[in-house]
A and B are shown apart, each in its own frame.
Chain A
Amino acid sequence: QQQVKQSPQSLIVQKGGISIINCAYENTAFDYFPWYQQFPGKGPALLIAIRPDVSEKKEGRFTISFNKSAKQFSLHIMDSQPGDSATYFCAARNQAGTALIFGKGTTLSVSS
């Protein structure tokens, strides 16, 4: 019940295209769902986050879609750029609010 499953493992998108990364969870007690971006040699950095009472959140080119009944959420990157090439992690916060449970990550490569 503590798992967050993320797909695909890797993704290649052309410049200007849409990148879509999907995540699914089991524990309905999770109450906060962030996405983190990690570049090589750096720590993860918060990209965008959503709470389960909202179905969509958009910040610039990044959008989270959240389906509470299906226990799924996804990250959409519009107009993907080479600078977006990084590893993306979805996560869910535990009920106690003390920990994030991360997916295994998606390595995105945007070709120019």
Chain B
Amino acid sequence: ETGVTQSPTHLIKTRGQQVTLRCSSQSGHNTVSWYQQALGQGPQFIFQYYREEENGRGNFPPRFSGLQFPNYSSELNVNALELDDSALYLCASSLARASGANVLTFGAGSRLTVL
């Protein structure tokens, strides 16, 4: 079984630009979540996608948006980049169950630097 893969691994952007990060879910998983991890901090929840719709959102502005595709892969888009957006962006996939149990499997992340 393949794990969660993310691309690109590293990228550098300038303030005001837009960025798209990509994620392939682990085989058999149907839910994708995105987290932002600033240096020296714990991951912070951005949003979750289930059945191609946003299923929950953290305290992030609308310039953070996402998509989930029929094959359960996902994109995170960030518009009008700010210096504080510099972070490791983590994608996590899971299998949504009626019981609510959904163990997250994280990818290695995309390291974004905004200059």
Do chains A and B stick together as partners?
A: yes
A interface residues with partner B (beta carbon < 8 Å)? 6, 31-32, 34, 36, 41-46, 49, 89, 91, 94, 96-105
Interface of B is mostly: loop
Residue of A nearest to B43 (CB): A102
> Which B residues are CB-close (under 8 A) to A6?
42
Q: Are B55 and A98 in contact (CB under 8 A)?
A: yes
User: How does the 8 Å CB contact mask read for B96-115 relative to A, with 1 for contact and 0 for none?
Assistant: 00001111111111000000
A99 to B106: give the CA distance in the assembly, Å. Answer: 13
Among B4, B43, B44, max chain A CB count under 10 A is at B43
> Which B residues are CB-close (under 8 A) to A44?
43, 90, 106
A102 to B108: give the CA distance in the assembly, Å. Answer: 17
Using A31-B100, A102-B43, A103-B42 as known contacts, say yes or no to A96 and B108 having CB atoms under 8 A apart.
Answer: no
Among A36, A49, A97, A104, max chain B CB count under 10 A is at A97
Any A CB within 8 A of the CB of B73: no
Among B4, B41, B45, max chain A CB count under 10 A is at B45
Among A36, A91, A102, max chain B CB count under 10 A is at A102
Closest 8 CB pairs of A and B: A98-B56, A102-B42, A43-B106, A99-B45, A97-B100, A98-B48, A43-B108, A44-B106
Q: Are A99 and B43 in contact (CB under 8 A)?
A: no
Q: Are A46 and B104 in contact (CB under 8 A)?
A: yes
Any A CB within 8 A of the CB of B8: no
B interface residues with partner A (beta carbon < 8 Å)? 4, 33, 40-45, 48, 55-56, 58, 90, 92, 100-109
> Which A residues are CB-close (under 8 A) to B108?
41-43
A82 to B107: give the CA distance in the assembly, Å. Answer: 24
Among A36, A100, A103, max chain B CB count under 10 A is at A100
> Which B residues are CB-close (under 8 A) to A91?
42
Q: Are A89 and B42 in contact (CB under 8 A)?
A: yes
A91 to B101: give the CA distance in the assembly, Å. Answer: 14
Residue of B nearest to A45 (CB): B106
A–B pairs, 9, beta carbons within 8 Å: A34-B103, A42-B108, A46-B104, A46-B105, A99-B45, A99-B48, A100-B45, A100-B104, A102-B43
